[in-house]
């Protein structure tokens, strides 16, 4: 009789995501199916270090006539097209529990990682990424201290494929007056378990070493057992922390290190600037301690087979539940064997 591992490597099966308490379907036998669907265009040559038409470059004018300062490191400003507004008036409706709406206040900010238009997290020096981490901590603390803010979400969309409106290296911070759905689901899962869900999960991963991509003294990067996206990863602190403001100087440096290394490996996988959505989940800013929550980051990259073939969330994924072809174990093995040196630097 085949082992459970052999069965999971070859046959369709379901895997459970304890963070969202949802199932995904894994179909490893489909990994070699022919592809005659949409093919994405390959990324063009790297952009120039300065783009006079880029509204995020130093000294350039943004929408509304605001001119960026000649910044030399990181730069934070209020989003000119904010999805949330701090002066939104209170209002609500509820008709039979079927037509339900309420206004939502919030604050949206943009963080430029560097004045260099041509760079990304994968190409930034580690010291520059440490500066970015410092800004994330400062912004999280400052926004979380506002009495009516309940959640601070830091995220980066990289690449046209992920809907990024500008290639300049940057991320966004949205601070909500409520706790968003994904964080609320994770918070409920942590609360329901009793002990720390991610501490227990990380202990299993480090013992089995089947899905670990890389680690340093403070963080481990894994392709989670329940991953949905082909090369999805989870960045987990090895020490229990509820939010990034609990990182000491060494922890911030270690976070910068793993972010540089995982984004470099993404780029090296298909030798292309790898698109992804990345974001941090940390304890809500609602005044409760949430000591059981474990701070972590998600990377959701869409590329599947090459720089031009992506994973689509359609059909069964929209009507049933998420599905993937390559197993988490095979994805982790491919990412794990890649170099920490960026392919563009190796080619010089």
Distance CA 285, CA 292 (A): 14
* Residues pairing with 106 in the sheet: 176
For position 44, what pLDDT does the model report? 63
Between CA 97 and CA 120 the distance in angstroms is 45
pLDDT attached to residue 308: 80
Which pLDDT value is given to residue 124?
A: 97
Neighbour-count burial of 336, counting CB atoms closer than 10 A to its CB (0-12 exposed, 13-18 middle, 19+ buried): middle
- Looking at the predicted structure, is the pLDDT value of residue 167 above 80? yes
What does the longest C-alpha to C-alpha distance in the chain come to? 70
Q: Around Cβ 190, how many Cβ atoms within 10 Å?
A: 22
- As a whole number, mean pLDDT of residues 148-172 equals 93
User: Lowest mean pLDDT: which of 127-131, 222-226, 310-314, 326-330?
Assistant: 310-314
Give the mean pLDDT of 174-191. 97
Distance in angstroms (rounded) separating the CA atoms of residues 183 and 282: 8
* Angle between helices 249-270 and 328-336 in degrees, nearest 10: 100
- Cα-Cα-Cα-Cα dihedral sign, residues 261, 262, 266, 272: negative
Q: Is 303 helix (H, G, I), strand (E, B) or coil?
A: strand
C-alpha 301: how far from its chain's center?
9
Q: From the candidates 117, 168, 170, 298, which is the catalytic residue?
A: 170
Residue 1: predicted pLDDT? 54
In 3-state terms, what secondary structure has residue 127?
Answer: helix
Nearest-10 Cα torsion for 285, 286, 288, 294: -40
> Using 50, 70 and 90 to split pLDDT, how confident is the model at 36?
very low
pLDDT tens digits, one per residue of 73-90: 999 999 999 999 999 999
Q: Look at residue 314 in the predicted model and tell me its pLDDT.
A: 87
Contact 313, 189 (CB under 8 A): no
Q: What average pLDDT does range 109-114 have in this prediction?
A: 98
Average pLDDT over residues 126-148: 98
In the chain, what are the helix, strand and coil shares in percent, each to the nearest 5? 30, 20, 50
Q: How far apart are CA 148 and CA 284, in angstroms?
A: 12
- The token pair that represents 114 in the structure block: 């560097």
Distance CA 235, CA 309 (A): 25
Spell out the residues 6+ positions from residue 209 whose beta carbon is closer than 8 angstroms to its own. Answer: none
d(C-alpha 274, C-alpha 291), whole Å? 34
154: left (phi over 0), alpha (psi -120 to 50) or beta: beta
Confidence band, pLDDT 50/70/90 cuts, at residue 345: confident
Q: Which of 19, 15, 27 is nearest to 325 (CA)?
A: 27
| Residue 35 pLDDT exceeds 50 | no
Predicted local confidence at residue 38, as pLDDT: 52
What is the tens place of the pLDDT at every residue in 302-343?
Answer: 998 888 888 888 898 999 999 998 999 999 999 999 999 999
Rounded to the nearest integer, the mean pLDDT of the chain is: 93
Of 9-13, 37-41, 235-239, 276-280, least confident by mean pLDDT is: 37-41
Distance CA(201)–CA(223), nearest Å, equals 12
* Confidence (pLDDT) at 161: 85
- The tokens for 18 are 């304890």
Predicted confidence band of residue 33 (pLDDT cuts 50, 70, 90): low
Q: Please tell me the distance from the alpha carbon of residue 290 to that of residue 144, in angstroms, as a whole number.
A: 14
Instruction: Give the domains, in start order, of the chain with CATH numbers.
Output: 4-30+41-346 (3.30.428.10)
Token output for 211: 């899905």
- pTM of the predicted protein model: 0.94
Q: Percent of the chain having pLDDT more than 70?
A: 94
Tokens of 330: 């095979």
- Give me the mean pLDDT over the 215-225 stretch: 98
170 is catalytic: yes
> What share of the chain in percent tops pLDDT 90?
82
Residue 10 — very low, low, confident or very high, per pLDDT cuts 50/70/90?
A: confident
């Amino acid at each position: 009789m085949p082992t459970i591992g052999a069965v999971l490597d070859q046959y369709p099966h379901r895997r459970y995501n304890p963070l969202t308490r949802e199932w995904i379907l894994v179909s490893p036998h489909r990994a070699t199916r022919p592809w005659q669907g949409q093919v994405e265009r390959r990324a063009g040559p790297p952009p120039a270090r300065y783009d006079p038409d880029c509204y995020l470059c130093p000294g350039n004018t943004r929408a509304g006539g605001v001119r960026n300062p000649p910044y030399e490191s990181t730069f934070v400003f209020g989003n000119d097209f904010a999805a949330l507004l701090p002066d939104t008036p209170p209002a609500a409706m509820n008709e039979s529990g079927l037509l339900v709406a309420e206004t939502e206040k919030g604050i949206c900010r943009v963080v430029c990682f560097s004045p260099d238009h041509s760079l990304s997290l994968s190409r930034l020096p580690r010291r520059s990424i440490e500066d970015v981490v410092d800004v994330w901590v400062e912004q999280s603390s400052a926004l979380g201290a506002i009495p009516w803010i309940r959640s601070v979400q830091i995220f980066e969309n990289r690449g046209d494929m992920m809907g990024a409106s500008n290639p300049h290296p940057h991320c966004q911070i949205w601070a909500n007056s409520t706790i968003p759905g994904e964080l609320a689901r994770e918070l409920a899962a942590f609360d329901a378990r009793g002990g720390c869900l991610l501490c227990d999960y990380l202990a299993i991963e480090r013992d089995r070493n089947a899905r670990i991509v890389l680690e340093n003294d403070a963080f481990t990067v894994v392709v989670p057992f329940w991953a949905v996206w082909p090369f999805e990863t989870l960045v987990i602190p090895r020490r229990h922390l509820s939010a990034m403001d609990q990182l000491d100087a060494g922890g911030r440096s270690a976070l910068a290190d793993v972010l540089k290394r995982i984004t470099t490996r993404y780029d090296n996988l298909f030798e292309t600037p790898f698109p992804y959505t990345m974001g941090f989940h940390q304890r809500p800013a609602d005044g409760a301690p949430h000591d059981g929550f474990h701070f972590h980051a998600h990377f959701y990259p869409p590329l599947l087979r090459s720089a031009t073939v992506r994973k689509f969330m359609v059909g069964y994924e929209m009507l049933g539940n998420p599905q993937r072809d390559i197993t988490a174990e095979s994805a982790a093995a491919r990412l794990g064997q890649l170099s920490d040196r960026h392919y563009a630097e190796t080619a010089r």
